[in-house]
Copies of this chain bind each other. A is one copy, B any other.
Amino acid sequence: MEKAVFDTGDIAAMKGMLDNMHVADIAEEMENMDEQLTVKVFRMLPKDTAAEVFAYLSRDTRGEIVKGIADRELSGIMDELFIDDAVDFIEEMPANVVNRILAAVPPSRREMINNFLKYPEDSAGSIMTIEYVSLKVDMTVGEAFSHIREMAIDKETIYTCYVIDQNRHLTGVVSAKKLLLADTEQLISDIMSKKIISAHTTDDKEELVSDFMKYDLLAMPIVDSENRLVGIVTIDDVLDVQEEEATEDFEIMAAISPSDEPYLKTGVVNLTKNRVLWLLFMMLSATITGAIISGFEDALALVPALVASIPMLMDTGGNAGAQSSTMIIRGMAIDEIQLGDAFHVLWKELRVAVLCGAALFLVNFARILIMGQGFMMALTVSLTLYCTVIMAKALGCMLPLAAKKVRIDPAVMAAPLITTIVDAASLIVYFGFARLILNL
């Protein structure tokens, strides 16, 4: 229905429709239009709405618009965009376009944008904005309100105001709620809270998530190395960070090099690049399991039935290890498990392994007996299975903790890598038991 209006080319109808749509929905519609219509619709939007819609668009669509509009229009957008959105936009454009954009930035904002472009990619500084309200310690509530009314039209959030002293040092916070409920003659310094939760520009943006969750924040002030207020990070960006970080962990844990690009917009060559090196690495590591099997070729020649259980042993080891490593990696990601819990975790996993192993032992023992492969074979395979589960769970919990200890991303120590290691260990145990029990 909305689509239909845009297809007609009826300008009045389109304008009427756009007036009643949320900016996020306008952006969504524009993603599905051809280049020409995208630029046409964008030019129909009032100047401030245009900047808001622009902040919601994908990289590709922004690129199309930049190509299609005049420098003067581009300058207008760069003036209206919040600083964090403007910086995001510049960072994702190709170098030749960036020069045109920076030239279009009004001089008053150019230095600020250049400063923001210097923050490292995953730092708190890189996602902060400067559109916040700061109050002086010695203002009254009445003065604060006048200041807010004057400033707020340009500010991303006025729900928390930050109180600074003469040297811009962050000294307190006061919520709009508290201001609304206070008498106009009260001093800001009397109603502000000094319990400030803040972060440094160079902190990892991932670390902000847990503080936002712990303290139920809507925004967090960001200070420089001398505790001077330089910006704020708002919760909408933190929600994005939380989703990105989880996606990154899912990718790393499936042996994929993480990428910021959404799946459907990533080309086949890039998808391949992100995956093939890990596959090659793990395939080559499997040379070890191959060598172990070759070393026991005589045993396999004597009892060929031993081969039949190899895939089951590999898979169960991999699955048992994946369960443990996933729990521990995720626990560390959400700050529930710390390095100091290592022994607690190992002790817990070992007991879980003993219980899981016992159940698997019994069922597998029965299965092999029922299939008529004999008591000794059942014992050999089931004992190996038991040991495999214990090794898998021990490695599955310890390797992610060890990785954290040496500052490697624990997510690397997930199912694929654990499987490769447990496979080799499991085969050695298997042939050891086979020799002992089956007298090979």
Contacts and interface: CB of A to CB of B under 8 A. Distances in A.
Given A239-B212, A250-B330, A307-B293, A255 B351 contact: no
A279 B22 contact: no
Contacts of A420: 315
A263 to B, nearest CB: 5
Interface string A150-166: 00110000110000000
A304 B301 contact: yes
A112 interface: no
A22 B215 contact: yes
Interface stretch (A63-71, A134-142, A264-272): A264-272
A352 interface: yes
Given A308-B290, A320-B279, A355-B272, A264 B344 contact: yes
Interface stretch (A89-97, A222-230, A356-364): A356-364
Interface in A261-284: 262-264, 268-269, 271-272, 275-276, 278-280, 282-284
Contacts of A197: 22
Contacts of A348: 268, 271
User: Which of A176, A268, A351 has the most chain B CB atoms closer than 10 A to its own CB?
Assistant: A268
13 contacts: A20-B194, A22-B215, A148-B180, A249-B250, A255-B319, A256-B326, A263-B328, A269-B355, A272-B356, A280-B359, A283-B312, A301-B301, A318-B419
Nearest to A52: B216
Query: For A280, A283, A337, which residue has the most chain B Cβ atoms within 10 angstroms?
Result: A283
Contact of A263 (B251, B282, B327, B416): B327
Interface string A240-263: 101100110111011110000011
A81 to B, nearest CB: 14
Interface residues of A, number: 115
A16 interface: no
Contacts of A37: none
B283 A423 contact: no
Interface in A384-440: 385, 389, 415-416, 419-420, 423, 427
Contact of A416 (B158, B304, B322): B322
A363 B284 contact: yes
A29 to B, nearest CB: 13
Interface of A: 20-22, 24, 28, 145, 148-149, 152-153, 158-159, 176-177, 180-181, 194-195, 197, 209, 212-216, 218, 235-236, 238-240, 242-243, 246-247, 249-251, 253-256, 262-264, 268-269, 271-272, 275-276, 278-280, 282-284, 286-287, 289-291, 293-294, 297, 300-301, 304-305, 307-312, 314-316, 318-320, 322-323, 325-331, 334, 336-337, 341, 344-345, 348, 351-352, 355-356, 359-360, 363-364, 367, 371, 385, 389, 415-416, 419-420, 423, 427
A329 B291 CA distance: 35
Given A149-B181, A176-B180, A235-B239, 20 more contacts: A152-B181, A235-B235, A239-B239, A250-B250, A256-B323, A256-B327, A263-B328, A269-B355, A271-B352, A272-B359, A276-B355, A279-B316, A282-B315, A283-B385, A286-B312, A301-B301, A311-B314, A318-B318, A318-B416, A318-B419
Contacts of A177: 152, 158-159
Contacts of A360: 276, 279-280, 283
A307 B290 CA distance: 8
A258 to B, nearest CB: 11
Nearest to A177: B158
Contact of A283 (B242, B316, B328): B316
